[in-house]
Amino acid sequence: MVAITEADCTGCDLCIPHCPFEALLPLTENPVERKHKKRPVVVVASQCVGCLSCIGSCPTKALHEILMPPLSTQSPLLLETEDPETATVQRWGKKGLGWA
Ligand code: SF4
Ligand code: SF4
């Protein structure tokens, strides 16, 4: 599975198109205590399958792998609360210019 260290995420959005499962999405609002001006991207745990396609896409290394416990049957991210409020992202159509 992957997680994002929010303090290291600048909100550049570069990782978003690297997820084929649309599990990387921007928050709708920037948390008040945040030092960066732009809202962060988060991992939507219910959509992340742990494929690690995104892992090298972050220039600030905010994206990192978290290991699943050996006997776990669900993502450790799902032990937290509900999915956060995330914004919709415009994506290239698969029949258009190709997957971005
Ligand atoms: S690990 Fe795979 S499914 Fe999860 S956010 Fe990264 S690219 Fe998407
Ligand atoms: S690439 Fe890294 S810094 Fe940019 S939005 Fe994604 S997690 Fe945040």
Work out the average pLDDT over 83-96.
Answer: 79
Residue with tokens 């962060």: 40
Cα(70) to centroid of ligand 2, in Å?
Answer: 28
Tell me how far apart the alpha carbons of residues 17 and 24 are, in angstroms, rounded to a whole number: 8
What whole-number percentage of the chain has pLDDT above 70? Answer: 79
> Does the C-beta of 2 come closer than 6 Å to ligand 1?
yes
* Closest ligand by atom to 46 CA: 1
Q: Which atom of ligand 1 is nearest to the CA of 2?
A: 1
Ligand 1 atom at shortest distance from the alpha carbon of 24: 5
Quick one: which ligand is closest to 54's CA? 1
Ligand 1 in contact with 62 (CB < 6 A)? no
Query: What are the pLDDT digits (tens) for 29-73?
Result: 999 999 999 999 999 988 888 899 999 999 999 999 988 766 666
pLDDT above 70 for 94? no
Which residue ranges make up each domain of the chain? Answer: 1-68
Dihedral over alpha carbons 76, 82, 86, 89 (to 10 degrees): 60
Per-residue pLDDT for 97 more than 90? no
CATH of 1-68, one of 3.40.50.9100, 2.40.30.10, 1.10.3720.10, 3.30.70.20: 3.30.70.20
